[in-house]
Structure 1
Amino acid sequence: MAQHNLGTVIRFEVVRTLSKRRFWVATLLVPVLLIVVFLLVFLSNTATDETEGAQKDAQFSFDYTDASGLVEPAMVKRLGGKEISDPAAGIAAVKDATVAAFFLYPKDPATDTIKVYGVDKGLFANGQYASVAESILQQSALAKVNAPQLTGIIQGNITIDTTTFKDGAVAGGMNAVIPAMLFVVIFYVVILLLGGQMLNSTLEEKENRVTEMILTTIRPTSLILGKVISLFIIGIVQMLVFAVPVVLAHVFFRNQLSLPDLDLSALVFDPQTMIVGTLVLIGGFALFTTTLVALGAAMPTAKDAGPVFGAMMLLIFIPFYIISLIISDPGAVIVQIFSYFPYSAPITALLRNAFGTLPLWQAIIIIVMLFGISAVVLRIAVKIFQYGSIEYSRKVNLRDVFHRRATP
């Protein structure tokens, strides 16, 4: 009977949630917004490329004075400029719009400021004056360097290949971090979007005054466990819905949207890292789910549960305030506290796991802690729901719950 009740609860909760219009509105809102953003980025990039191409091909007249003697006259002449001797005359010509720009090169451009004067063409277009003035000086300096190797080094035409080793093997580097960071993204998306659903999974019955009737046919343990399992299933459905537009955008519109050109074959899926990430993700999700279900069972209304719910949501963002320590100094006291405090442990552990600063023995302790506390909170949620089924007007007193549990 218990197994039958559990399956009934899971089926009922999943079907009820998936059949609600507001669930799909909230779920599809993120993909729709992503599509809109992708389209805006695509249109923006297209317009930017056209503008940059037009600026790159634009020609304008300019004068210059060169106290340094570095500027190559032949180069300037090809660009449509000419040298003059009087800076005041150059500035006056710009003011009168006789020429588009005037460049004043000082005696020592390395220490003194290069003065650029131009006819106003708008904030964005005005940047081309300084770019041309700088390019002329750089190209003139490079032309005076006779060694091709030095010219290449000055221009930055060098390639550096860095190889690091971990435990005697080549380390994955960023290619190993990216797959593990997906667990962080999944955790945030699921918790933020399902948090309200977790809280209302037990509050709804209490607000509708039907808990007593439900408990006459279904055991409290089966009811709460069924709700938790159904939330896992709903979370998987949401993740699949969110992933579709991202995958399609990356596969078909990567170049148009200027998305990172990830070579999936180069990604490193370290077995230990992926297993630890999966277990921490599941354990963290289970802890927050059971806690929010217990919170919903203890509170008479969603308004009463709001402040505690907000505080719990805040806990998952706190580790990002110390992310530099998590990466560079995982042994810091604050990092260790966040790693073992249950409600900050999931994100902290996932970040440390992604950046390779979480030893296996610490990962095992954290995983056992998350699953263990989740089981304890689940039992407490059952007791709270069972005891609080008749508490429609006030919060459930935990001391009364435990006292009642202790008495035969």
Structure 2
Amino acid sequence: MKNIFLIAQRDFLSQVKNKAFIIMTFLSPLLVAGAGAVIFFLSSANNSEVKNIAIIDESSAFVTSFKSSKQMMFSIYTPQELQSIKDTLKDSKYLNAILHIPKIVNDDYSSIEKNTELITNGNLGITDREKLSSIISDKIQKEKQLKLGINQEALDATKARVKLNVFNISDGKQDKGMELKIALSMFLTYIIFMFVMIYGVKVMRSVVEEKNNRVVEIIISSVKPFELMMGKILGTTMVAVTQFAIWIGMTMNLLILFPTIAASRMDMSQQMLNQAEVTDIHPDTMQKITEISEVLLTFNYPLIIFSFIAYFILGYLFYSSIFAAIGSAVDNDTDTQQFTYFPLIPMMIGLYGSMTTFQNPDGPVAFWLSMIPLTSPISMITRIPFDVPMWQLALSLIILLFSAIFMVYVAAKIYRIGILIYGKKPTIKEMIKWINYKN
């Protein structure tokens, strides 16, 4: 154990003292936030461009339906001008599209539904196209209703939208914020998937590099191959946990202020809703903000943080052992890419198979994916925000713990032989023989 900790300490210090590690540890959250801000800005900037549409309505029945806005400007032209506008559209710097609505024949709108043309110069997106289609469709619907003697106000009065107030019988509490739970699940799942892959590959490449440099021959003269492998895995694990601890600490500092702000917001919700009547903020928007604040306060953050760290560490031990075994069995990056599919495929199954959790968090697929050790580090995290039963969480952790220990044992068998083999790519059959070799 002393040698394992010495190797782990050496790997840990060599990485955390690296300037790149220090800079990226504190800079990564800012980069992620900055990337989100840039994406939002680019999206806003892209939507801010004004689209100029020429409307040619041969029946003049739809011209009043097209109202210009900040995003879309409409210009009305006569049918006689259609061809001349078409000729100039391709090179036009002002006009983006021509909407040609054919003539209504005998109050039959089928020709409009089938033959309406939108001619663009390639600068009109799908959202704008759907908006134009919707304007025409709504107008046709209203005209058909008038023709059938259907009163629009009476029709609107018959519309209803039921909001379900969901209660969980197990605790009697209202179940709210499904969208936030899904967002949190996806975020945590992708973080674990990404970092297990990143740090697992880092272990594998480190082993390949030491093997190619023949440094490992010197190292194992003083320590056993198993001690070397475990030292490298534990050292990289401590690096990952250190990064997570710093990031969680930065996040918790923000959350310390959040309950006060959220509570204050909830206490003042009615006042804000009243004030919204004389401001530009819609009351529904303020109500939504209040609901989000309430949902965020109901999350069991200690359980989420504990589960995230536990599944990351155990999942990383499980998969990094596989990566270390792969690194010891080959001696170049080309061969590692071929064997990387073995750990990658079950992780992908766990990642995308967990999408079923959003439809049925307690269903059989979600349950078994969160129990099988190949997928549980990713799949169980998806279920945590949905109040997974504690016995299932405990059982999953126990299975993953013993599976990680077993995988370390198997990887060590491969590692102790493969680390000294050069110039030959072993087959799966040979690796199985290495596992069966006795000490």
Structure 1 and Structure 2 fold alike (TM over 0.5) = yes
Rounded to whole Å, the distance in 2 between the matches of 1:60 and 1:211 is 75
Rounded to whole Å, the distance in 1 between the matches of 2:367 and 2:99 is 61
Aligned to 1:86: none
Which letter maps to 1:165?
Answer: F
Q: Decide whether the 8 Å contact of 1:198 with 1:289 is kept in 2.
A: yes
Q: Decide whether the 8 Å contact of 2:4 with 2:228 is kept in 1.
A: yes
Rounded to whole Å, the distance in 1 between the matches of 2:293 and 2:229 is 40
User: Closer, same or farther in 2 for the Cα pair 1:187/1:337, shift >3 Å?
Assistant: same
1:199 shift after superposition = 1.1
Q: Decide whether the 8 Å contact of 1:319 with 1:347 is kept in 2.
A: yes
Aligned to 1:229: 234
- Find the partner of 2:6 among 8, 11, 20: 8
Rounded to whole Å, the distance in 2 between the matches of 1:380 and 1:197 is 20
- Find the partner of 2:295 among 253, 266, 281: 266
Rounded to whole Å, the distance in 1 between the matches of 2:181 and 2:145 is 40
Q: Under a length normalisation based on structure 1, what TM-score does the superposition of the two structures give?
A: 0.67
User: Closer, same or farther in 2 for the Cα pair 1:103/1:273, shift >3 Å?
Assistant: farther
1:343 corresponds to 2:374:
yes
Which letter maps to 1:343?
Answer: L
1:21 shift after superposition = 8.4
- Find the partner of 1:318 among 349, 373, 384: 349
Indicate the SS of the match to 1:124.
Answer: coil
Note the aligned Cα RMSD (angstroms): 5.0
1:294 shift after superposition = 3.1
Where do 1:309-388 residues align within 5 Å?
Answer: 309-323=340-354, 325-328=356-359, 338-355=369-386, 359-388=389-418
1:164 corresponds to 2:159:
no
1:124 corresponds to 2:128:
no
Q: Decide whether the 8 Å contact of 1:190 with 1:239 is kept in 2.
A: no
With 392-401 and 191-200 compared, the bigger mean Cα shift is at: 392-401
1:317 shift after superposition = 0.8
Rounded to whole Å, the distance in 2 between the matches of 1:100 and 1:387 is 72
User: Closer, same or farther in 2 for the Cα pair 1:140/1:220, shift >3 Å?
Assistant: same
1:112 shift after superposition = 7.5
1:9 shift after superposition = 2.1
Rounded to whole Å, the distance in 2 between the matches of 1:146 and 1:355 is 45
User: Closer, same or farther in 2 for the Cα pair 1:400/1:109, shift >3 Å?
Assistant: closer
Rounded to whole Å, the distance in 1 between the matches of 2:152 and 2:65 is 25
Rounded to whole Å, the distance in 1 between the matches of 2:64 and 2:43 is 34
1:351 shift after superposition = 3.0
Percentage of pairs with the same residue: 17
Which letter maps to 2:438?
Answer: R
1:115 shift after superposition = 5.2
1:12 shift after superposition = 1.9
Rounded to whole Å, the distance in 2 between the matches of 1:291 and 1:297 is 10
1:269 shift after superposition = 1.7
- Find the partner of 2:312 among 277, 281, 302: 281
Indicate the SS of the match to 1:316.
Answer: helix
User: Closer, same or farther in 2 for the Cα pair 1:331/1:110, shift >3 Å?
Assistant: farther
Q: Under a length normalisation based on structure 2, what TM-score does the superposition of the two structures give?
A: 0.63
> What are the superposed Cα offsets for residues 90-134 of structure 1, whole Å, 9 maximum, x if unpaired?
755534669985553463559973754677676629847645544
1:244 shift after superposition = 12
Between the two proteins, the alignment pairs up a number of residues equal to 368
1:192 shift after superposition = 2.6
